[in-house]
Amino acid sequence: MKYYFLIFLCAACLLFYTVSFAQKAEEPTFRVYLIGDAGDDDTTEATLLDLGKKLHENSNSAVIFLGDNCYRGGMYGMLPMKVKGYDGSRITQARVMSQLNILKNYEGSAYFIPGNHDWWNYTNLSKGKRALLSEEKFIEKTLKGKDFSKLKNGDNTFIPDEGHPGPVIREFNDNKTRIIFIDTYRLILAEGDPKRDTFLLNTFFRDMKKALADGTAKKQKIIVVAHHPIHAKGKHSLPLAAWQTMFRRIADANTNYPPYNIMALRLDSLLKEQHRPDIYYVAGHEHSLEYFFNDSLHYLVSGAGSKTDHVDFKETVKENEYFIWNEEGFFEIQFYGRYERVLMYHRKDLKSKLEVHCIAGCELEK
């Protein structure tokens, strides 16, 4: 009888250990939260509050704001569209602070990258850079304050720095995850310049190729974060009207405009050279939530941080595509030992509950 009891006790201990290990193995080793175009609200609204809650629940993480961190209308609001960005005024400070507020007492890493509105959609490099540096200085000075002292990267939160296109590399998750930051609007400006800045472009794409190849050699998971998508559906992907081509501020935002199109094709070519299924290209720009899995690469569009655009597409969603229109939200990439999961968070309206969908890596064995 004593032997049976010992056998039972050993079996129970083994079962407890196995279950405990399995539960522990199910926990992600790292999380990345991705939100773009969040600069349209004067106060911290539901979507940002949702994101802030996730950040404080999961401090072993990083959050990246994917550009267009502030919107402001031109001609004192008389224009029907918002073309400007941060200008140091009370209202633009409030719009940037609506995002910074969720980072108070956050113990992870936080980064902001530029979008075309952060450059004020300027096609003049010196004017755009001046506007961009003003926002960069405000964000980094604020995040050095005591309310944000728990951030892991309080000294350098706006990258690439000073209007440089990048690439800038940061490594996380015990160096298993590499995030590459780039400024796509700077590349579009260089490509569209009448003199074409070939030195800047060639240097960038050479360094980008090295950054991807080095991450591949180290068997790292790679995320490239930018403002402008490579693959997307939405108002910026519609055919350009003739009048739009007359205004570079407007045309530069469209995927069909040559400077944008050439930049996107060159980036996509570098990504595909790696022949890897664990490379993610994440952007904002389109005010929606989109996911594509093409040629073994993941393309995410997370541009619904504070506004949405309605686009009436008659074509059906194809296999390996996922869209959420007219709903604000953000993405999360969870990293496990051998695979990743992609989650999409969204809500129908401010009164509805936050919904979450697993859209990639959902069926993989643990």
Residues whose CB is less than 8 angstroms from the CB of residue 135 and which lie 6 or more positions away in sequence, other chains included: 69, 70, 85, 86, 96, 114, 118, 158
Residue 110 main-chain phi, psi, to 5 deg: -130, 135
DSSP 8-state class, residue 84 = B
Q: Return the pLDDT at 76.
A: 57
Residue 202 to residues 133, 172, 215, 266, Cα–Cα distance (Å): 24, 28, 20, 11
Q: Return the pLDDT at 129.
A: 96
Q: Return the pLDDT at 119.
A: 96
Q: Return the pLDDT at 181.
A: 98
Q: Return the pLDDT at 62.
A: 97
At 289, is the secondary structure helix, strand, or coil? strand
Where does 30-360 sit in CATH, by number?
Answer: 3.60.21.10
Spell out the per-residue pLDDT of the chain, length 366, in tens: 455 544 444 444 444 444 443 334 478 999 999 999 999 998 989 999 999 999 999 999 999 999 999 998 765 555 556 779 999 999 999 999 999 999 999 999 999 999 999 999 999 999 999 999 999 999 999 999 999 999 999 889 999 999 999 999 999 999 999 999 999 999 999 999 888 889 999 999 999 999 999 999 999 999 999 999 999 988 888 888 888 888 888 888 989 999 999 999 999 999 999 877 789 999 999 999 999 998 889 999 999 999 998 877 666 677 788 888 889 999 999 999 888 999 999 988 777 889 999 998 887 544
Residue 242 to residue 246: CA distance in whole angstroms: 7
List for the chain the helix, strand, coil content (%; round to 5).
35, 20, 45
Residue 44 to residue 34: CA distance in whole angstroms: 17
Residue 64 main-chain phi, psi, to 5 deg: -125, 125
Token pair listed for 221: 């998971």
Which stretches within 101-158 are classed as H helix? 125-142
Q: Return the pLDDT at 78.
A: 55
Residue 335 main-chain phi, psi, to 5 deg: -105, 125
